[in-house]
Structure 1
Amino acid sequence: MLNEPASLRPARALLYLHGFNSSSASPKARLVKAACETLARHEGRPFTCLTPDLSYRPDVAYQQAEAALETLGREETLLVGSSMGGFLATLLAERHGLRAVLINPAVQPSRFVGQYLGQTLLNDASGEHFTIDNSYFDQLAALQWDRIVHPSRYLLLLGSADETLDCRDALRAYAGSRMLIHPGGDHGFDVLPEYLPTLFAHGGWRVPASLVLP
């Protein structure tokens, strides 16, 4: 077992990265964290899960994601990212050779953020107001990846009726990756509970059929 590649060993930790203007209090973040706790109790061993609050500024959010990964250890950590968090998880997966589960990931987030240019937004969780300016485009352009080098590292969970991001962008960008498309699924992907066993299986965990996840 010790000689197996890290990609085949069960993950020892999970890092969940939320989407733009979201937080660790989002339904998906809380669901994933609760599922990690359930699995840890079932296995009788620790399974660390971090769901950090990320800045609305892309460059700072990436630094925070890197810091959280450093805390967990850069080996055998399963990355899970939603929307903008999926974009950040891709950056980390490509840089550090990690597995990642992406939920309706943003492929070119500068296009998504562009519709908010000049607007002042409110983060409901923190109560913080912030205004989207041109610096967002510069930051996202600096972070933008060109292509996926190792598609086998990824599992994509996509909603066919995503009202925010066109799932066809992800289908093209992550060609060769494992993809599951939920018919009629929206951007919030509230059907995530149905896919938790598959999510953890991508991290090398075998979830017993009798185990009820949140």
Structure 2
Amino acid sequence: MKIFYLHGLGSSGQASTATGLAQAGFEVIAPDYQPELFNLSLATQWPLVERCQPSAIVGTSMGAYYALKLAERFEIPVVAVNACYEPGRLLAKYLNEPAMNFQTQAPIPFTAQMLAQFQPLNPSRILKPKILIGDADEVIPADYQQTFCRAKGWQWQSVDWGHRVGDCALLAQIIHAHVATYG
């Protein structure tokens, strides 16, 4: 099964989740992109999804936000793990102290103009998202994620993880089950 995987802020297409999903038997398309650059990120991801025709779109953290944005455009099953649902608001903390790129060890600069470009999610255009929320998420608290999902009418599944995917084999099972029941 082919999946389109989107990494989080400061990570890359070679992230441990992408490699773990490949080891679980998926054909993983995991582009490198700059999640802090909204317009550029969507402009590069749309044609990739159209070209590769994945069975599912999977994202973690900022990548989960983009996975949900792509699901607004494409009727493809989506799995969002510890999503950054409101990047413009949640990333504002980096205006004063930049986040770090884990690959290059360089700071990721943010501006108010960058944050203003992020568009809100449109739940009415996202069909049956599979939302996973880590009970011990230290970056985007589980209670915030649950409140957001409740307000949008989305079901979620709690997992015994922190912010990072704690079990790629379990994530693989969840992806398979979601694709099988989608539609």
Gaps of 5+ in 1: 1-11, 40-47, 206-214
Once residues 80 and 108 of structure 2 are traced to their aligned partners in structure 1, the CA distance between those partners, rounded to angstroms, is: 26
What is the Cα deviation at residue 18 of structure 1? 0.6
Secondary structure at the residue paired with 1:136? helix
Secondary structure at the residue paired with 2:44? helix
Corresponding position: 1:14 with 2:8: no
Once residues 10 and 140 of structure 2 are traced to their aligned partners in structure 1, the CA distance between those partners, rounded to angstroms, is: 15
Once residues 61 and 151 of structure 1 are traced to their aligned partners in structure 2, the CA distance between those partners, rounded to angstroms, is: 19
Q: 2:32 aligns with which of 44, 53, 60?
A: 53
Q: 1:87 to 1:104 in 2, by over 3 A?
A: same
Corresponding position: 1:64 with 2:44: yes
Aligned 1:78-93 pairs, distance under 5 A: 78-93=56-71
CA deviation digits over 1:12-55, x for unaligned, max 9? 531001111111121112112232xx25xxxxxxxx43000111
Once residues 122 and 198 of structure 1 are traced to their aligned partners in structure 2, the CA distance between those partners, rounded to angstroms, is: 30
Quick check: 164-173 or 83-92, which moved more?
164-173
Gaps of 5+ in 2: none
Q: 1:166 to 1:67 in 2, by over 3 A?
A: same
Secondary structure at the residue paired with 1:60? helix
Question: What TM-score do you get using the length of structure 2 for normalisation?
Answer: 0.84
1:155 paired residue number: 130
Q: 1:197 aligns with which of 145, 168, 173?
A: 173
Indicate conservation of the 8 Å contact 2:3/2:28, yes or no. Answer: yes
**Which structure's residues are more often helix, by fraction?**
2
Once residues 99 and 169 of structure 1 are traced to their aligned partners in structure 2, the CA distance between those partners, rounded to angstroms, is: 24
After TM superposition, the runs of 4+ consecutive aligned structure 1 residues lying more than 6 A away are: none
- The structure number with the bigger radius of gyration is 1
Q: 1:94 aligns with which of 72, 82, 94?
A: 72
1:77 paired residue number: 55
2:143 paired residue number: 168
Q: 1:192 to 1:158 in 2, by over 3 A?
A: farther
What is the Cα deviation at residue 150 of structure 1? 5.6
Once residues 105 and 146 of structure 2 are traced to their aligned partners in structure 1, the CA distance between those partners, rounded to angstroms, is: 35
Corresponding position: 1:181 with 2:158: yes
Report how many residues are paired.
Answer: 178
Indicate conservation of the 8 Å contact 1:98/1:153, yes or no. Answer: no
Q: 1:28 to 1:92 in 2, by over 3 A?
A: same
Secondary structure at the residue paired with 2:136? coil
Identical aligned residues as a percent:
21
Corresponding position: 1:106 with 2:84: yes
What is the Cα deviation at residue 127 of structure 1? 5.5
Question: What TM-score do you get using the length of structure 1 for normalisation?
Answer: 0.73
